[in-house]
Structures are given as structure tokens and as C-alpha cells.
A = this chain, B = another copy of it.
Amino acid sequence: MIQVEEALSIIAENSTRILVQKIQMHKALGYILAETVYSPIAMPPFRQSSMDGYAFIHSEKHQYDIVGTIQAGDHSKIKLKENEAVRIFTGAFVPNNADTVVTQEHVMANENSILITIMPEQHTNVRNKGEQIGEEEVVLKVNTLITPAAIGFLACLGITEISVYKKPTVAILVTGNELVEAGKKLPKGKIYESNSVMLQAALQTIGIKKAKVYKVKDDLKAAKKALKEILNKYDIVLVSGGISVGDYDFVKEALLENGVQELFYKINQKPGKPMFFGSKNETLVFALPGNPASSLTNFYIYVYPAIKNRMGFSDIHLKKIVRKLQDDILNTTGKTLFLKALYDETQVRVLEGQSSAMLNTFAIANSLLIVPHDVESIKKGELVTLLPIG
């Protein structure tokens, strides 16, 4: 049995392998950039007006003849004389020898000419070519998170594809003779299977959309056979159930017989103690407790950072926040507690009903409050650390 911190560092060490893939811009949200991207063009690609107004060659003169119109998207070969101006719009090409744009609010105009009432300084309202970025300059550095703004920035440079770190493929193996699929009638002694759809949803929150679910009976042979196939096909395997100490908890044996190397088994925490973590080649295996609340707790604490690590994130854990505790907490277990809690802008309250078999509390919680194993009591009003979930 190991402490939570040790388990976390073993997982962090063993989940660093990253793979690279090409991805199209419109699918790239939430990935981490696997290469530094350089701009194929200057942006703006030409001198651009930043206002609706009139482009001219800056001088002492206030009156100019209008010799044309340049709309955004036009390419103009107009060459202005000293007393000439062109009507121009935001984003439009500024004629080669013009150096200044006066905004339309600062002129009086008729059809043929303008009178500048407030003279701008030279170069005003002209965006230079490459002002935002020059050709071959760095667009985004390797390891940048692809946000909507990053997608917009890459797209405006004409980039259609980038290299990112791959998301791992994930399989969920559910064991348990007592489990019946929702929608069917519930025979006596059985319960509905819910961990697979719950874990799939939890995986969706970090962008893993298609975790494949396998189900086997509580039977060593069946589990061994299923695992043999799954271990060769997926980057991460979550096994749900069969990992306690009972005679029918055969998952560990099935894993070891398939050549999975044990990295740890059992963590000094509540809920979620009976968890196995191991690896075979590059595949990581998390055998999670069958109790739903334990399973989801361990997903957030252990599986989440492993997946983030594989995706190339530098900050792999759930974000921690600090709040003022609304009630006393006693911890006589000597274990690290992860308590379902509800926080607001300043405070946090531990919810009633912390049983590992129950999801009713988890379903209305917005955070897990951490009580370290060596902390025996926390008083009302003290600051505590929690992990927002949702």
C-alpha cells in the first residue's frame, strides 16, 4: 500500500510517452501543438487600412481630389498624386505610395473631393505588411494548447493542418456477474451496470470521445482472453471491478498472466483504496474499484493526469483551489480522504453521504475536498484544498 503522492508520481513517470499526428484545423481544439509553427505568409499580407476613410500622401494640404474607391478585397494599382486621395475601407489595400489614412469622421466630403478637418499624423491608420507576423516568423511554439483563438490565428495565416500530440485510445473492461444492462429487467441479486457509461462521460470531459466498452463475466479465463486482445489494441485500459481481495477478484491475476507489470496496488486513501496500476509495453492499465464513487474518484485523481500527460499537457492534474471550510472534519482513518463537497466563491461544505457505493452525493457535488492522510482534524474556518469537478 502506498500513499497518494507516491501513486501520483508513479503515474506521472509512466505516462510520458507521446505520439504525434497531423490534424486538420477544425478538429484541433484542445490538442497540444507538437511542433513550432512558422508563418507561410506575412500578416497582414499587404499594407492595410485600419479605418473606413481616405488614403492619401501625407502633407500640409487639407484638400484632396477623390480618384477612386478601394474596398476590402480589392487589389488596386492606383498611384496617387500629391493632391489625390482614394476612398478606402477597413482591411482594404492601401495604394503603394499612400502613407496615411484619415478616418471619415475627420473629413468633409462631396462626390469629388474631401477637406480634412482634423489632420492625422503621417502613417496613421495604416497597418504595415507583416505588422502582426512576418513570413517565416514563429506563429505558435511547440507545446501550446490549441484554443479557439489559436485556431483563428493559424487559420488566418492559411494553415490548414498542424502536428499535435495524439489523444490516447481508451478501452473500458467491465467485470461482474451481478451487472445487468440498463433498460433490461433487473433479476433478484443483480444491479444495473453504470460504471462504463459514467467512465465514458468522464473521458468525454477531457476530449476522449470514443472509449470502447468490453464486458466479461467474473471468470479468470474470460478476463484473460478479453485482456489479451485489449492490451494489444489500446493505449490505456480501464478495468472496472474485480480488484478487491475476494475470491472472485481475479482481475489482478488476469493482468499479471497477460504480462502486465504491476507498478502499484492499493493506495492509502478513502474511497478508492483497491486500485491496481500497471503497464505492458506502452499500454497503461488502471484497474479501478467496482464501487461507482470510488471508481469515479480514482478516475479524476489518477486516470485524468495520465491522459493529460499522454496528450502533452504540462499541467496534468485537476486544478486545485482553496476555500474556507464550513464545518469541522475529523479524519481518524490515517488515510487520505477525497470528500464530495460543494463550494461557492468563498466557502466549501462537505456533503452528507460519502459511501463509496453511492453516487447520489457525487451527482450533486462540484468538487473533491482533499484531507491528507496525516491530518486528523480540520476546523471550521480553516482553508482547505479542493479539486473542482463537473
- A interface residues (Cβ-Cβ under 8 A, vs B): 25-26, 28-29, 41, 43-46, 48, 50, 52, 71-76, 87, 89-93, 104, 127, 132-133, 139-140, 144-145, 147-160, 176-179, 182-184, 186-195, 197-202, 204-205, 218, 244-248, 290, 292-293, 296, 299, 355, 357-360, 362-365, 389-390
Given that A25-B197, A390-B147 are known contacts, is A192 also in contact with B156, CB under 8 Å in the complex? yes
A73 contact set on B, CB distance < 8 A: 176-179, 189-190, 218
Distance between Cα atoms of A133 and B202 in the complex (Å): 23
Tell me how far the C-beta of A55 lies from the nearest C-beta in chain B, rounded to whole angstroms: 13
A29 contact set on B, CB distance < 8 A: 201, 204-205
The 7 A-B pairs with the shortest beta carbon distances in the complex, nearest first, are A152-B198, A73-B178, A73-B177, A75-B189, A155-B194, A149-B362, A156-B194
Tell me how far the C-beta of A288 lies from the nearest C-beta in chain B, rounded to whole angstroms: 12
A178 contact set on B, CB distance < 8 A: 71-73, 91-92
Please report whether the interface of chain A is mostly helix, strand, loop or mixed according to DSSP. Answer: loop
A359–B149 contact, CB under 8 A? yes
A152–B189 contact, CB under 8 A? no
A76–B296 contact, CB under 8 A? no
A151–B198 contact, CB under 8 A? yes
A43 contact set on B, CB distance < 8 A: 191
Given that A189-B93, A357-B127 are known contacts, is A158 also in contact with B182, CB under 8 Å in the complex? yes
A177 contact set on B, CB distance < 8 A: 71-74
The chain B residue with its CB closest to the CB of A89 is B246
Tell me how far the C-beta of A189 lies from the nearest C-beta in chain B, rounded to whole angstroms: 4
Distance between Cα atoms of A157 and B25 in the complex (Å): 41
Q: Count copies of this chain in the complex.
A: 2
Tell me how far the C-beta of A112 lies from the nearest C-beta in chain B, rounded to whole angstroms: 16
B191–A149 contact, CB under 8 A? no
A154 contact set on B, CB distance < 8 A: 194
A187 contact set on B, CB distance < 8 A: 75
A149 contact set on B, CB distance < 8 A: 198, 293, 296, 359, 362-363, 365, 389
Given that A192-B156, A246-B52 are known contacts, is A148 also in contact with B358, CB under 8 Å in the complex? no
17 contacts between A and B (CB under 8 A): A25-B182, A26-B201, A45-B190, A46-B189, A52-B244, A52-B245, A52-B246, A73-B177, A91-B290, A132-B357, A148-B199, A148-B201, A149-B389, A152-B198, A152-B363, A153-B360, A156-B292
Distance between Cα atoms of A355 and B295 in the complex (Å): 47
- Picked from B133, B147, B189, B205, the residue with its CB within 8 Å of the CB of A360 is B133
- Picked from B157, B159, B198, B360, the residue with its CB within 8 Å of the CB of A155 is B198
The chain B residue with its CB closest to the CB of A389 is B147
- Of A89, A144, A363, most B-chain CB atoms within 10 Å: A363
Given that A149-B362, A357-B127 are known contacts, is A158 also in contact with B179, CB under 8 Å in the complex? no
B192–A155 contact, CB under 8 A? yes
A201–B364 contact, CB under 8 A? no
- Picked from B74, B296, B357, the residue with its CB within 8 Å of the CB of A148 is B296
A363 contact set on B, CB distance < 8 A: 140, 144, 147, 149-150, 152-153
Given that A176-B73, A247-B89 are known contacts, is A148 also in contact with B202, CB under 8 Å in the complex? yes
A151 contact set on B, CB distance < 8 A: 194, 197-198, 201
